[in-house]
Amino acid sequence: MNNKIAALLLATALTACSDPAPQSMQQPAEPAAIPGYDLVLRGGQLYSGADEPPITGDLAINGQLIVAVGDLGEYEASQVIDVSGLAVMPGFIDIHSHALSDNMDEGIFGWPDAENLIRQGVTTVLGGNDGGSPLPLADSFDAIAALPAAVNFGSFVGHGSIRGLIVGEDDRPATDEELELMREQVALGMEQGAFGLSSGLIYTPGRFATTEEVIELAKVAGEYGGMYISHMREEGLALLDSVAETIRIGEEGGLPTQLTHHKVVGAPMWGRSVESLRLVDEAIARGVDVSIDQYPYTASSTNLQILFPGWALDGGRDALLARMADPAQRTRLRNDIVYNIEVDRGGDDPANVVLAGCPHDATLNGLNLSEVLRRQNREASKNNAAELLIELVAAGNCSAVFHAMVEEDIHNIMRHPRTMIASDGGIEGPSARAVHPRNYGTFARLIGHYARDLGIIPVHTAIHKVSGMPADRLKMHNRGHLAPGAVADIAVLNIAEVRELASFADPHQYAEGAVHVFVAGEAVLQDKVMTGARPGAIVRSTDYR
């Protein structure tokens, strides 16, 4: 042992053995520092956002962030809310939303408080789905930020919007020059903060694109770390081919790919979700990054042209109207629509098509095709229903609800471990439109009906599918989880009281069960009352790269 170490040990021993200093010389002990928090949610059932059961504990917020999770009983806070008996979870992320409407009096601009979403626990929405997005995205981001809104808003960039801008609505392949211009638009969207490329290959003009075109554009989104999310070409008879195409686009495009609002449409296909999910599993097994989202209803909603054949839509609306005016083409069109009523979204009965919003005649809202025909003293036949659809589209088109799915497929898709839940709805408020109840009830229906009541999946799995799972899919590293450092987007629900009140007959009904909702640490719903606060932010992929 060297001399320095020996001296140090001796000094330490002497100090330990020596008498303490006189009482008059001792300094008073400093009390242990107790950190203060802005807000503590005390004693709740904490659902982390992962696919795991809850634990009982506290959650602390400072400013916009979660700063502590656990037993915080001894810590001080400016505000303490007793949430014992309630479920505390990350605010939900709606990965397939249409919150941004073309009508500035509707959607996020018409109802920036987003009460239909807040009362379900939704705090973030992703727009730009089904191939449709504003171009450029930056302008819409600026307009939303200027509101502001109660929920956070992010977006995909839409393939259909880009193709419409560059190629138009003609049924033809893009030229090499046009393809390069479309690549530039995808890159611009990604640079402005898009989370990936969306497509609507069942809609005009996306339906006129080749698979190879979409692959080339998906590659651009992938270079920026984005994903591909697709309303597939077909969800009825050609469902399996469409699933294979969506998988191929991700596989050859080199980016994550997602079957959006995955469903099985039309009586001939019911039950075949087993096969579509098998294709997904086989792709995952060979290394393709495939995921799914779903809305938990047996009815879809879009505009009436979904029942029109592609050949009739070539060239846009003027060309369609010209075909309607030609007797021979009108007959051909009517016959093709009858076929789609029988085997696709018509569910083999005109009564399954319910008009949701007809701008040219609001008295039709809420009526099915058979009811409209009878009001017009016409037989409720499929042929007459097809003729009525032609008339309605010629008059300005309508949105509609299509009852053409079954619960078996809903359950199969929901149980799949790669399935998230999303609304495919938007931000709605009271109106004359007979909208799909998914706008008001998707998340409450998932947790209250399918998880709590039917047990299709556990409640904690349901919460994971709308919080941590979409956050991870979008690479939002500071959202979707209850963890220190995460943005304090938080929903506090009474699980026993969660229920959807909206129905197809009466859709404008807010869900029940949400007690408190915080966006970036600020209460937008407190004690079941909307506060009027609108702390929502624009969420960009560029923030996470």
Which of 280, 262, 264 shows the shortest CA–CA distance to 272?
A: 264
Contact 62, 36 (CB under 8 A): no
CB-based burial of residue 2 (10 Å sphere; 0-12 exposed, 13-18 middle, 19+ buried)? exposed
Do 425 and 328 belong together in one domain?
no
Any alpha helices (H) in 423-542, and if so which ranges? 438-444, 459-464, 468-473
Structural domain contains residue 12 = no
Q: Which of 403, 434, 454 is the last residue of a domain?
A: 403
Task: Give the pLDDT score at 17.
Answer: 34
Does any domain span residue 13? no
Q: Are strands 152-155 and 122-127 parallel, antiparallel or unpaired?
A: parallel
| 114 and 230 fall within a common domain | yes
Q: Looking at the whole model, is its pTM more than 0.95?
A: no
Give the helix ranges, DSSP H, for 18-111.
Answer: 107-110
DSSP 8-state class, residue 540: -
Q: Count CB atoms within 10 A of the CB of residue 55.
A: 13
Where does 126-272 have alpha helices with state H?
Answer: 137-145, 159-166, 176-191, 211-223, 239-253
**Are the beta carbons of 59 and 81 closer than 8 angstroms?**
no
Per residue in 307-332, pLDDT (tens digit) is: 999 999 999 999 999 999 999 999 99
Counting Cα atoms < 13 Å in the Cβ hemisphere of 490 gives: 35
Strands (E), 358-464: 399-403, 419-421
Type of residue numbered 327: P
Q: How many domains does the chain have?
A: 2
- Is residue 162 included in any domain, yes or no? yes
Residue at a domain's end among 384, 403, 422: 403
Kindly state the tokens that stand for 221: 């989104």
Kindly state whether residue 1 falls inside one of the protein's structural domains: no
DSSP string, 227-239: EEEEE-S-SSTTH
Yes or no: say if 390 and 333 are a contact pair by the CB < 8 Å rule. yes
- Find the domain containing 358 and state its range: 303-403
Residue 53's Cα: distance from chain center in Å?
23
Residues 196 and 95 in one domain: yes
Over the chain (545 residues), what is each successive 10-residue block's mean pLDDT? 34 33 36 72 98 97 96 88 97 97 87 98 98 97 97 98 97 98 98 98 97 98 98 97 98 98 96 98 98 97 94 95 96 96 94 95 95 97 97 96 97 98 96 94 98 98 98 97 98 98 96 98 98 98 94
Query: For residue 223, is it within any domain?
Result: yes
Pairwise CA distance, residues 59 & 44, whole Å: 8
Burial class of residue 267 (count of CB atoms within 10 Å of its CB; 0-12, 13-18, 19+) = middle
Which of helix, strand or coil describes residue 93? strand
Residue 479 lies in a domain: yes
Whether residues 350 and 493 share a domain: the answer is no
Which of 406, 425, 401, 202 shows the shortest CA–CA distance to 295? Answer: 425
In angstroms, the CA 392 to CA 354 distance is: 13
Position 34 scores a pLDDT of 59
Token pair belonging to 29: 């002990």
In Å, what is the CA distance from 210 to each residue of 135, 146, 166, 399, 470? 22, 38, 15, 27, 29
For residues 459 and 384, membership in a common domain is answered with no
CB count in 10 Å sphere of residue 299: 21
Terminal Cα-to-Cα distance of the chain (whole angstroms): 55
4 lies in some domain: no
Do 225 and 291 sit in the same domain of this protein? yes
Q: Are residues 343 and 433 in the same domain?
A: no
Which CA distances in Å does 206 have to 63, 216, 314, 331, 444? 44, 14, 11, 26, 33
Same structural domain, 235 and 338: no
Q: Kind of pairing, strands 227-231 and 257-259? A: parallel
Q: Is residue 224 part of a domain?
A: yes
Domain boundary among 362, 378, 403: 403
| Separation of alpha carbons 68 and 412, rounded Å | 37
The reply to whether 276 and 368 lie within a common domain is: no
Mark whether 455 and 342 lie in a shared domain.
Answer: no
Q: Which two tokens stand for residue 137?
A: 């995205």
CATH number of the domain at 213, please. 3.20.20.140
Confidence at residue 117, expressed as pLDDT on a 0 to 100 scale: 98
* Domain co-membership, 147 together with 118: yes
314 and 361 co-located in one domain = yes
